[in-house]
Structure 1
């Protein structure tokens, strides 16, 4: 009976998420000519949401459930020692840290959890927290953690060539990546381009502590979303600003109430999550649509 109840809850959550993502923004007022005009203009249909959001339910003692596009998959129960879960690009696996003492940043075990709940330990005694969190490679064959690449099959590992690479993120198409180099600089590797270091020491707020936690990077590597440190990628809930990595200057996203997350869809622009919902911005950073927030849980974006 408990298994059936959990399945019903997961199904209901997925249905609610699908309804939120399918809802269209309110059309703009009509621009049709007056009754005396000889031609008629119809209102343009609002643009669809560019991509899909997944919501990860990650509560102790409950099924780890990932809902996307009206469907939900579960990965077994979350144990008290499970931290920093992140789904693979195909959303068939979770990578997480399992630690016997959540009050300490180490030791921990790097664990991969399958859809059926099976668990595979990739490494023991690894650090975690403060930007050190598992990051899936786009092809799903490995997990990068603290600068080390762990192959999912065979348990082999080697340096990822990124240093410690805190707050490591890939772009939506998996080509570009970005990570923190220090408290005042980040590194960006555009798709097909050379790595470049971006000095952020002159950004607003750096007189206290620079927003060096990388939250997202665009496919071109030209833009990154940054937040404050000690907000691990698996549970980052606030964004400080978006930076143009070519100039090192902030991007004006307009007035936002409780900025939480920014993603960069393939094709340009951004999706901004704040206290009022989801806002779609075009390549000139103008808003083209607003959608309701999909509900509580950790949000992950895919094209």
Structure 2
């Protein structure tokens, strides 16, 4: 990539992968900043065993920006079957490679750089923090600790934060946010992917230090139970409640059950520009990279 805008994408999971596939079509320089708070599945097992940040979402993002048709990308996504039993059951090979590289180099960020080199990736993929962190939130006045528990619990999430509270972000992540022409948040699970990365204090401060160019991409539909009943205004309010301000909100108009160009008026008064665009061919199939790229490019 060369000659295009500098773009940063922040979040986690499958949603951020869609953003990266879209942004790589127009960005001259692309950086992913990825949540590492996952404590379930293969990622959870590896972070508990080796005290490393969760590798799973980072693996997905590396694959999203890998050389097209790379056999290494396929290998990174290979998951050892549960029915095989044994210590490898359920692990994604890419997670094991990242953990192994971290053990060899002693530096998690260096492990990701080497993994990106192996995949011939055309973007930089960075963890939101270089420490293994726990995601903590308050639900109904009760503290809930752990990404999986927050994701599965019912109720409104308040005071989302990471422990330890001083977990640092890589300097490269802070610098990328400061220099970017566009910073994209999401799509993805509002609390356990997008905000899980944004509430890392260094990331939140870097976002607050920008004068513009921050875009939030709404999910195509509520995520049950995490955002049951949420509309885009509720997503925006959750961001603001956690100190994260954006300059534009992208939504698929089918999300509202309203015609194109007729979003709820209260969101327009909340500050950011509201832009409704068709972002998916099928809302249940996820964001379409081509449609999302067109909408994001138009904001530049």
Same fold (TM over 0.5): no
* Structure with larger RCO (C-alpha < 8 A, sep 6+): 2
Point out the structure with the larger helix share: 2
Normalised by the length of structure 2, the TM-score is 0.30
Point out the structure with the larger strand share: 1
Normalised by the length of structure 1, the TM-score is 0.29
